[in-house]
Amino acid sequence: MENRVTNARRYENGVLKDCQDALTTELPLQIKINGKPFSVTMRTPGADEDLVRGLLFTEEIVLPGHAACTFREERETADVHTIDVTIPPLYLCPNVHEKRTLLASAACGLCGQREFDAPGLSTRPLVPSGKLPLARVQSLIAAMRAEQHTFAATGSTHAAALFRLDGSLLAAAEDIGRHNAVDKVVGNLLKRDQLRDAQVLAVSGRISFEIVSKAYRAGIPFLLAVSAPSSFAVDMCQRWGMTIIGYCRDTRCTVYAHPEQVA
């Protein structure tokens, strides 16, 4: 993942000085399905196939059978890349091209959608394979932070990481968009056929409903966040059997849903 160095002027201790600063790269990615435009998402280049694979899965564009998808990269211009996904119609959800408008911001999960369509607000709750020890939470957050190399250079990326319940790291990713980072790690495990091993999702920012929805679709029952969850995120975690833990900082954290699932 490449950063861009830019000239700037820094004001510090009453003095203005010329400097150079690293910026996180943000560029558009055109997504096509079977040759037809589906969406343009703003993202940080890198792991683009994982991003598209995860996005199509977590938004229920691709039905079970995602392994049948093939990906072809194209370069529209120097700054615009395209991924054309070939998906047999058998595995596509109905009216797939009505699911999104053409432009989706990196900051928003639902803003590109034409209508609200939660993945079954009364769907069967998830059942975790065991309890998550609260004493392990900080080590999981620390493991995610250790993978935030772009953030260390630029201070402007989000991160997501997936873990087994025993604390072992399965995948980590950074992106300018919170939802993109989640889609990248989900897509990475889909590609490696390891998504069933993931039990814990950690994110570097807040948890909104969109993050909960993606985690539910991926079958992940434990969510950790450095910041707070939204009210709707907590409500849906209560309904979907998911434990949501916010403010995971230093030696503290707050359990907002299903505390009986932590140890």
Q: Kindly list the catalytic residues.
A: 108
Distance CA 180, CA 77 (A): 22
The amino acid occupying position 183 is D
Q: What is the phi/psi pair of residue 43, to 5°?
A: -150, 170
Measured CA distances, 32 to 6, 73, 84, 116, 181 (Å): 32, 10, 4, 22, 20
Return the closest-CA partner of residue 256 out of 201, 207, 199: 207
Distance CA 100, CA 96 (A): 8
Based on the number of CB atoms within 10 Å of its own CB, is 171 exposed (0-12), middle (13-18) or buried (19 or more)? Answer: buried
Contact criterion met (CB below 8 Å) for 177 and 193: no
Length in residues, the chain? 263
The amino acid occupying position 57 is F
